[in-house]
Amino acid sequence: AVVSTQSGHYGRDCQFVRCLDFNPFNHEVLASCSDDGLIKLWNVEDARCLATLKSPHHVAMATFNPVADSILVAAEGTEVAVYDCVAEKRILSQSSGGMDVAWSYDGRLVCGGSKSGDVTILDVRSDQIVASNHIFDNNKDVHVQWLGVDKILVGGYKNRSREIRICSITDLSSSLSHLGLGPGSGSPNACYDHDTSMTWIYTKGGQMYRYCEVDSGGVLTENWTESVSEPIKGICLAPKLSLDVMSGEVNRLVIAHTTSIRPTPCIVPRKSYSEYHSDLFPETRGSIPGIGAEAWLQGENGYRELINLNPASRKEKQKRKKYRLRLCVDTTA
């Protein structure tokens, strides 16, 4: 069922919404960005626009910090920029990429990909480049995804063939493993679950995705492929707290097609689902931020508390209820 429909990106340069990202601390708040240079925060329950962040460039990607409250990073033009969502202002920027951007698991570093084929690791708070290397062909999209805090997965073109590579951030010139996908249109992209190392690889416009796993050494293993009836526009993972864990649902893909959005559950078979299978569900990050925006900007770091997905042992409900108004950026309540 359609919960709500938002409309708020306009203008001559706005052809479509480039990216959507849910707030990790309040799943009622959704960020959207577009070529109109705007990043908008929405309440998905009632379609209200909660805040508008203005960029001087087209915005290709925007994503929330996974640890710090109300901090968002965007890939825009030839820069990576950091925004304070509550203050509604652009607070940091650094020249690098502008095609794709992703936070490390601990929210300290940013990885950016550019059309020049470069991949760059940034410490945006100190305005420093941690590592950088030319990995793929020029004038092709490059997509990036963190695997924890010390490895990245990158997708792009090399010699007209699509590739996925996994690299250590200490040496971007070599690969821990790679997966050749052959010629085709659309740079490969990935969804990665930090709790289980489950990985899904797809290309925008394609009609198939690959399920893979990554071990602790960064070796990528392809397990199987799945075909779909419509071209894929994007894939993301549903929040862990929304999973039907008592039915063995370990993940849920949310696949965006041209005319529809299709939730796809990932269920591990068991003889019985009458009890919670703890071996299927590692502890996952809860919905309370590890640090506030001001402290993070001053150089401090935080960690999010891990929670058990067993419905019988969840203790977060009251905390999340008390925190909701601030994360909605709702100053009228």
Range 255-259 contact pairs with CB under 8 angstroms and sequence separation of 24 or more: 255/209, 255/228, 256/232, 257/228, 257/230, 257/231, 257/232, 257/233, 258/230, 258/231, 258/233, 259/230
Q: Which of 85, 118, 86, 121 is nearest to 103 (CA)?
A: 121
CB 145 within 8 A of CB 152: yes
pLDDT at 98 over 80: no
Q: For residue 11, what are the CA distances in angstroms to 37, 78, 175, 304, 317?
A: 10, 21, 42, 39, 41
Between residues 305 and 47, which one has the greater pLDDT?
305
How would you class 243 by CB atoms within 10 Å of its CB: exposed for 0-12, middle for 13-18, buried for 19 or more?
buried
pLDDT at 217: 94
Please state, as a whole number, how many other Cβ atoms lie within 10 Å of the Cβ of residue 196.
15
pLDDT of residue 272: 92
Residue 273 contacts residue 247 (beta carbons within 8 Å): yes
Contact at 8 Å (CB) between 233 and 258?
yes
How does pLDDT run across 121-148, given as a tens digit for each residue?
999 999 899 999 999 887 788 899 999 9
Position 106 pLDDT exceeds 80: yes
Top-confidence residue, 33 or 11:
33
**Band of the pLDDT at 8, cuts 50, 70, 90?**
low
Give the predicted TM-score (pTM) of the model: 0.85
Q: What is the mean pLDDT of the chain?
A: 85
Per-residue pLDDT tens for 193-216?
999 999 999 998 889 999 999 999
pLDDT exceeds 80 at position 328: no
Give dist(CA 157, CA 181) in Å, integer.
10
* Range of weakest confidence among 7-21, 38-52, 278-292: 7-21
What is the predicted pLDDT for the residue at 49?
A: 87
